[in-house]
């Protein structure tokens, strides 16, 4: 099927490598990172065609470095940005524009931040989480500077192998697209690393397939997902994008190998955490 509308072209300031976006229903805006221009773009919710953003956050004061994903704190009016190579989380006011400094920035060796491609914020519980290189890190929402995460969900029981991707929060649950592709970067920029010895296998042919996993925001350590979508009937191979529609009980998932979007009707995934989930790992 064809899209209903397309935002595209030079005037949009979009790149053709967009790995995150979020919709703001309060202000009816779309927030998109442009990793190749170290920028955050904000569009009208009804934007169409070669339409310019209504605001752009970009410049040396922003300290944005390859911003790959965004999450919106609608309660406190903030945009949270995860950087892929910058190993940082930048927080801006929702209406920030131009070359502005972030109101908070989490960065430094204590943070354990690595290859970040997913971020989500839970304003009710004052928590945020990021999809890190091989794990989920949970921080206090107001964390700032070189701070350690308050929790780390990682290990063989989690099923997360490499590069967990987009994540969302809903009522105390973390929803994650765990891609489990195996990305081996042989280069540092355009310089071949001395350690590079052989062409890796196709990253999308990792026989351990990806999944959609649900954890509780209070989980910590090597904790299996409390609910999952995975397996041959699901059609998921290496899922990366993930959006929630709690009203209709649907989860939307993009899959890189399929180059498409799949929709799952899982209303029980959105129920309070103390209720049984149909896709519970513990039912195996």
Partner 1 sequence: MTTARSKTKRVTGWAVALTGIVSCAALVGSSSEGHRSQPFPEDIPAARMVADPYSALNGIAVDPQSNLVVASDPNRKSLLFYDRSHNNNTGAQTVPMRQIIGPATYIGMVASVVVDSGRQEIYTANNDIEDTVVVMPYAAKGNAKPARVLSVPHQAWGLALGRSTDELAVTAEIFNAVVFYRREAKGVEAPVRVIRGPRTRLADPHGIYWDDANGEIGVASHGNFRGVLRNTGSGCSPAPGSVATAEESGEFRPPSIAIFSAKGKDDEKPLRVIEGDSTKLDWPMGIAEDSAHNTIAVSNNGDNSILIFDRRRGGNVPPLRVIHGDRTGINRPMGLAVDSQNGEIWISNYGDHTALAFDSGADGNVAPKRVLRSAPAGTPSPGFGNPMALAYDMKRDEILVPN
121 half-sphere exposure, CB direction, 13 A CA radius: 24
Q: Which of 44, 152, 258, 273 binds partner 1 (CB under 8 A)?
A: 258
Residue 212 · residue 239 · CB < 8 Å: yes
The answer to whether residue 279 forms part of the interface with partner 1 (CB under 8 A) is: yes
The answer to whether residue 103 forms part of the interface with partner 1 (CB under 8 A) is: no
Coil/strand/helix, residue 279: coil
Q: Three-state secondary structure along 75-139?
A: CCCEEEEEECCCCEEEEEECCCCECCCCCEEEECHHHCCCCCCEEEEECCCCEEEEECCCCEEEE
Name residues contacting partner 1, limited to 108-147 (CB under 8 A).
117
- Residues 6 or more apart in contact with residue 6 via CB below 8 angstroms: 48, 49
Closer CB to partner 1, residue 22 or residue 151? 22
The answer to whether residue 75 forms part of the interface with partner 1 (CB under 8 A) is: no
Shortest CB 4 distance to partner 1, Å: 6
Q: Which of these ranges, 88-96, 123-131, 144-152, 249-257, lies near partner 1 under the rule CB under 8 A?
A: 249-257
Q: Which of 146, 148, 186, 267 binds partner 1 (CB under 8 A)?
A: 186
Return the bridge partners of 165, or none: none
The answer to whether residue 96 forms part of the interface with partner 1 (CB under 8 A) is: no
The answer to whether residue 38 forms part of the interface with partner 1 (CB under 8 A) is: yes
Q: Which of 92, 139, 175, 211 binds partner 1 (CB under 8 A)?
A: 211
The residue assigned the tokens 């805006």 is 29
Q: Which of 109, 197, 274, 275 binds partner 1 (CB under 8 A)?
A: 197
Q: Which of these ranges, 53-61, 87-95, 107-115, 137-145, lies near partner 1 under the rule CB under 8 A?
A: 53-61
Query: How are beta strands 191-192 and 239-245 bridged, if at all?
Result: unpaired
The answer to whether residue 34 forms part of the interface with partner 1 (CB under 8 A) is: yes
Cα angle value 224/228/231 (rounded, 5°): 115
Q: Which of 123, 250, 271, 273 binds partner 1 (CB under 8 A)?
A: 250
Q: Which of these ranges, 98-106, 127-135, 137-145, 150-158, lies near partner 1 under the rule CB under 8 A?
A: 98-106
Give the Cα separation of 33 and 39 in Å (integer): 6
Q: Which of 124, 150, 157, 183 binds partner 1 (CB under 8 A)?
A: 183
The answer to whether residue 95 forms part of the interface with partner 1 (CB under 8 A) is: no
Q: Which of these ranges, 88-96, 130-138, 147-155, 227-235, lies near partner 1 under the rule CB under 8 A?
A: 227-235
- Residues 6 or more apart in contact with residue 39 via CB below 8 angstroms: 13, 33, 56, 57, 58, 64, 67
Q: Which of these ranges, 12-20, 89-97, 126-134, 135-143, lies near partner 1 under the rule CB under 8 A?
A: 12-20
Cα angle value 90/95/101 (rounded, 5°): 40
Name residues contacting partner 1, limited to 149-178 (CB under 8 A).
165-166
Give the Cα separation of 245 and 54 in Å (integer): 26
Q: What single DSSP character describes residue 264?
A: E
The answer to whether residue 190 forms part of the interface with partner 1 (CB under 8 A) is: yes
The answer to whether residue 275 forms part of the interface with partner 1 (CB under 8 A) is: no
């Amino acid at each position: 099927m064809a899209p209903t509308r397309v935002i595209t072209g030079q005037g949009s300031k979009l790149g053709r490598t967009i790995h995150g976006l979020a919709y703001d229903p309060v202000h009816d805006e779309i927030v998109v990172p442009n990793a190749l221009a170290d920028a955050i773009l904000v569009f009208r919710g009804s934007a169409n065609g070669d339409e310019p953003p209504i605001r752009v956050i970009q410049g040396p004061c922003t300290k944005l470095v390859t911003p790959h994903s965004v999450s919106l704190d609608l309660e406190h009016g903030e945009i949270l940005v995860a950087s892929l190579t910058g190993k940082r989380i930048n927080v801006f006011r929702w209406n920030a524009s131009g070359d502005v400094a972030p109101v908070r920035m989490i960065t430094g060796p204590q943070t354990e931040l690595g290859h970040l491609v997913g971020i989500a914020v839970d304003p009710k519980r004052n928590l945020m989480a990021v999809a890190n290189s091989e794990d989920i890190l949970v921080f206090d929402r107001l964390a700032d500077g070189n701070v350690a995460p308050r929790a780390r969900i990682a290990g063989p029981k989690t099923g997360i192998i490499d590069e967990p991707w987009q994540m969302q929060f809903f009522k105390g649950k973390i929803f994650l697209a765990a891609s489990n592709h195996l990305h081996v970067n042989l280069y540092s920029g355009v310089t071949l690393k001395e350690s590079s010895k052989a062409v890796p296998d196709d990253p999308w042919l990792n026989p351990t397939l990806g999944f959609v996993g649900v954890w509780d925001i209070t989980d910590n350590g090597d904790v299996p997902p409390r609910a999952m979508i995975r397996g041959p009937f699901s059609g998921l191979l290496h899922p990366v994008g993930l959006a929630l529609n709690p009203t209709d009980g649907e989860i939307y998932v993009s899959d890189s190998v399929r180059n498409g979007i799949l929709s799952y009707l899982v209303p029980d995934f959105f129920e309070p955490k103390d209720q049984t989930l149909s896709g519970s790992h513990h039912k195996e």
